[in-house]
Amino acid sequence: MPQELSLPVPDDFHIHLRQGQDLASYAKSAEQQFGRILVMPNTEPPVNSAESVKKYKAEILAAAPSLKVLLTFKLNKNYTEQELLEMRKNGAIAAKYYPLGVTTNSQDGVSQIEDMYPTIELMEKLDLVLCLHGEEPGVFCLDREKKFLKHLEKLIRIFPKLRIVLEHVSSAEAVERVKSLPQNVAATVTVHHFILTLDDIVGDSLRPQNFCKPIPKLPKDKEVLRAAVFSGNNKFFLGTDSAPHALEKKECLCGAAGIYSAPVAIPILIEEFEKENELALLPNFIAGFGADFYKIPRQNKKVTYIKKEWQVPKIIDGAVPLRAGEVLKWDRK
């Protein structure tokens, strides 16, 4: 078993850095783990114009100057081709679709995906990527992703050239669907869906730090997801969906969904891939397939991890991280 591991500097193709006072600490913590990140737009106010894309990127870079920052903007039906081009010029490479009310700051989300088709048609023409929060609102929580898949199928039928990422894929049905659709449909995989099931939220005790959307599901779902990754399928790549919320926002009457995983994501993945004897697959999963899908160059910088136990702090940047208080086996050198 190796004691040192040299890896390509990871990309995170799905991260939340928030806004205002919190932004700097979350951006710095991302900078310690990743070389390049794709930042989600569900901030307050949202990222939904060329101006806001530019401003958000500048704010992130001011806090974390060594990060390569890629942006998303919230999908809505009002964009013109000119605006989409302007957003791209300012650093956006994808639009994020949020159904109404399914997750944090989605009160302005979409109720009819068909209303978005004119914008999506432009995106297909401009080769902008569509990132989907693939959950159907108003359905039993464990079925939301499964019930969304009909929209994914319809999208790819109507827009056959559109590149689509089904974000934070969490159910066996969605994994299988992504596998069976053409190469321009991929999925991000989070560290938490890779290791957690519903049991880790409500099994023995209530663990709000593991509550997120989509909800981690049954053992079978987790196994199917892991099998897809461990098959080396290039449609599945890392997007942590690291989504910090201050402790008091998660542990209250109406707790926020989101798991703060950025500080522990890579050490956990190394441990999991090592357990399965699949460390050789890790470089492509964390720093290859995603870049290829987004048609951006792979990064060639390296980072070394060493086998050294460390205890995850109970709180980081005011938020409870994934695996808080537990001992991890790998650390950055």
- Rounded distance between C-alpha atoms, residue 139 and residue 130, angstroms: 23
Closer by beta carbon to ligand DOR, 103 or else 119: 103
Cα-only R_g, the chain: 18
Give strand pairing partners of 233: none
From 33-41, 108-116, 226-234, 288-296, give the range in contact with Zn ion by CB under 5 A.
33-41
Least Å distance, CB 325 to ligand DOR, is: 21
Instruction: Select from ligand DOR, Zn ion, none the partner in contact with residue 312, using the beta carbon and a kind-dependent cut-off of 5 to 8 Å.
Output: none
Give strand pairing partners of 222: none
Query: Which of 197, 241, 247, 264 has the alpha carbon at shortest distance from 103?
Result: 241
Closer by beta carbon to ligand DOR, 258 or else 290: 258
Instruction: Select from ligand DOR, Zn ion, none the partner in contact with residue 99, using the beta carbon and a kind-dependent cut-off of 5 to 8 Å.
Output: none
Closer by beta carbon to Zn ion, 262 or else 312: 262
Catalytic position from the list 241, 292, 317, 331: 241
**SS3 category, 267:** helix
- Rounded distance between C-alpha atoms, residue 112 and residue 98, angstroms: 11
Query: Which of 100, 89, 103, 165 has the alpha carbon at shortest distance from 130?
Result: 165
- Rounded distance between C-alpha atoms, residue 135 and residue 156, angstroms: 17
Closer by beta carbon to Zn ion, 16 or else 57: 16
Closer by beta carbon to ligand DOR, 16 or else 57: 16
Helices (H) and strands (E) in the chain, counts: 13, 11
Instruction: Select from Zn ion, ligand DOR, none the partner in contact with residue 8, using the beta carbon and a kind-dependent cut-off of 5 to 8 Å.
Output: none
- Rounded distance between C-alpha atoms, residue 132 and residue 181, angstroms: 15
Can residue 145 be called a binding residue for Zn ion (CB under 5 A)? no
How many residues interact with Zn ion (rule CB under 5 A)? 2
Give strand pairing partners of 126: none
Per the annotation, the verdict on 241 as an active-site residue is yes
Least Å distance, CB 186 to ligand DOR, is: 17
Contact 17, 30 (CB under 8 A): yes
Least Å distance, CB 112 to ligand DOR, is: 20
- Compose the 39-58 pattern: x for residues touching Zn ion by CB under 5 A, - for all others: -x------------------
- To the nearest 10 degrees (0 to 180), the angle between helices 81-89 and 50-63 is 10
Binding site for ligand DOR (CB under 6 A): 16, 42, 103-104, 133, 212-213, 241, 243, 257-258
Among 11, 31, 135, 241, binds Zn ion (CB under 5 A): 241
From 1-9, 203-211, 240-248, 322-330, give the range in contact with Zn ion by CB under 5 A.
240-248
- Rounded distance between C-alpha atoms, residue 150 and residue 152, angstroms: 5
Catalytic residues: 241
Q: Which residues bind Zn ion (CB under 5 A)?
A: 40, 241
